[in-house]
Amino acid sequence: MSAAALNHYEILGISPEADAEAIRVAYFSRLEVFRKRLTAPHPDDGERLVQLRQAFATLSDGGRRAAYDAWLFPAASRLAPEPEQPAAIPGVPAGWERLHFSGRGSEYFRIWIVNLLLSIITLGFYSAWAKVRREQYFHRNLQLAGAAFAYHGQPWAILKGRGIALAALMGLSLAQSMGPLAYGVAICGFALALPWLAIRAFRFRAFNTSYRGLRFGFAASYGEACRVFLGYGLLSLVTLGLAFPLFYRRLRTFVIDHLRYGTTPFSCAVGIGVIYRIFVTPGLLTVAALFALLLFAAPLLAAGVAGKVAFSSLFALLPLALYLFVLAYVPARTANAVWSASRLGEHRLQCDLPVAGYLAVVVGNWLLIVATLGLAIPWARVRMARFRAEHFALAVNGSLDDFVAGEQARVAALGDEAAELFDLDVSL
């Protein structure tokens, strides 16, 4: 039977009674088959992949599935009572598309170990190719509404960026050995170059990421970057960190406000009050903990040996407890605040990372890596990628398929992507 004659259930290989989890498992199982034969695809793979995505998009949506079933089984729909809307997936409101990461630690380990060995053998020269393989793996295993992201970065562009970064560091080191005046001039030159390098790196990252064949983009002027990196950066320094939340907010809004998908821009409206509360809370908690420790110090020290041991334990554990709290609280809360205040055109973004869950993943990964002498790093990275994806969603206003198709048409009409081929990547 040709693929065109199959209905959505037959394409996924499931029964019409399959639940949401069975649909999801069937979809990603078949998607994996296409991915494994990317090097030698069948002639009709393109058409079959489109049909697979259409089947998943329809059957994973309660409303679309009910309408499709009524069309596919008209007799049954006339006899059956009014269909009930399937229960929403916990934590995913109706109309929201949540990210999904399907990578596996054992799978990424094979990429990671080859990258590591080749980078060592080539004295780091292979690291650019290693980064491309790593990014390709994490992008193609990140899916939204059944479609995967893709990474298109080229190793030579990454190598060029790292060469520039290495030359800049060597220049700073040479200037330092020549005296304070030369070093000061070199620092000023590097500071002036930093906004330019940052813009190129953001553009490289955005342009080399795509979703459903449509690339992201980033466009900002040097003057805007100077105001953020030099203006707010210096303000943070001269105020001894008091203005750091202001710098942080401007940096995040600068990146998101100049990012676009196709021709649709992102925007971020996070308030400065939210960011200040996130950064001030750990400080207030530290002061409160120290005050409580001092309050109980006298009674504990006067209680004999047991009291002194208890006080010493509290004194030693307090910094660790505060460090762990800051480690999870700040990144989770800032990510939630920034992304939940962001939009892609008229579509809302949502990030809901739980602080306790984030801390559990981070500490669990640390213990895993230490216990295996570093061999568990691939599992740790996959675990964090899956955790982040599970807590990030897009609220689509209307149809995601229609939105993407519209963007593809607009980009094809404008044809402005080639201008971004000359950017470079200076990140690791």
pLDDT digits (tens, 9 = 90+) for 208-223: 999 988 889 899 999 9
Share of residues in the chain with pLDDT > 70 (%):
84
Q: What value does the CA radius of gyration of the chain take, rounded to a whole number of Å?
A: 26
Chain centre distance of CA 276: 23
The pLDDT of residue 80 is 53
Asked whether the CA dihedral 339, 342, 346, 352 is positive or negative, the reply is positive
Q: In terms of DSSP H, where are the helices of 302-399?
A: 305-340, 355-371, 377-390
Angle between helices 305-340 and 355-371 (to 10 degrees): 110
Mean pLDDT of the region 32-39: 68
Q: Does position 364 have pLDDT exceeding 90, yes or no?
A: yes
Is pTM beyond 0.75 here?
no
258: part of which helix (H) or strand (E)?
none
The pLDDT of residue 255 is 95
Q: How many CB atoms lie within 10 A of CB 98?
A: 19
Q: Does position 132 have pLDDT exceeding 60, yes or no?
A: yes
**Measured between alpha carbons, how far is 52 from 45 in angstroms, rounded to an integer?**
10
Comparing 40 with 141, which gets the higher pLDDT?
Answer: 141
**β-pair partners for 216:** 261
Please, what is the average pLDDT of the chain?
A: 82
144: part of which helix (H) or strand (E)?
strand 142-144
Distances (CA, A) of 243 to 246, 281, 285, 337: 5, 15, 19, 18
Q: Does position 82 have pLDDT exceeding 60, yes or no?
A: no
Q: Does position 65 have pLDDT exceeding 60, yes or no?
A: yes
Mean pLDDT of the region 235-241: 91
Q: Does position 420 have pLDDT exceeding 50, yes or no?
A: no
Comparing 69 with 84, which gets the higher pLDDT?
Answer: 69
The pLDDT of residue 78 is 52
Helix (H, G, I), strand (E, B) or coil at 99: strand
Q: Does position 417 have pLDDT exceeding 50, yes or no?
A: no
Share of residues in the chain with pLDDT > 90 (%):
36
Amino acid at 10: E
Give the count of alpha carbons within 13 A of 256, CB side only: 21
Amino acid at 379: W
Q: 228 pLDDT band (50/70/90 cuts)?
A: very high
**Measured between alpha carbons, how far is 390 from 419 in angstroms, rounded to an integer?**
34
Segment 262-312, tens digit of pLDDT? 888 999 999 999 999 999 998 888 888 888 878 877 777 777 777 777 777
Q: How many CB atoms lie within 10 A of CB 215?
A: 18
User: Which range has the top average pLDDT, 103-107, 174-178, 380-384?
Assistant: 380-384
The pLDDT of residue 172 is 85
Among 60, 85, 49, residue whose Cα is nearest residue 9: 60
Mean pLDDT of the region 344-372: 93
Q: 151 pLDDT band (50/70/90 cuts)?
A: very high
Q: Does position 1 have pLDDT exceeding 90, yes or no?
A: no
Q: Does position 233 have pLDDT exceeding 60, yes or no?
A: yes
Distances (CA, A) of 401 to 8, 158, 211, 392: 17, 33, 12, 19
Mean pLDDT of the region 105-129: 92
Mean pLDDT of the region 324-352: 92
Segment 245-255, tens digit of pLDDT? 999 999 999 99
Measured distance between the N- and C-terminal CA atoms of the chain, rounded to whole angstroms: 49
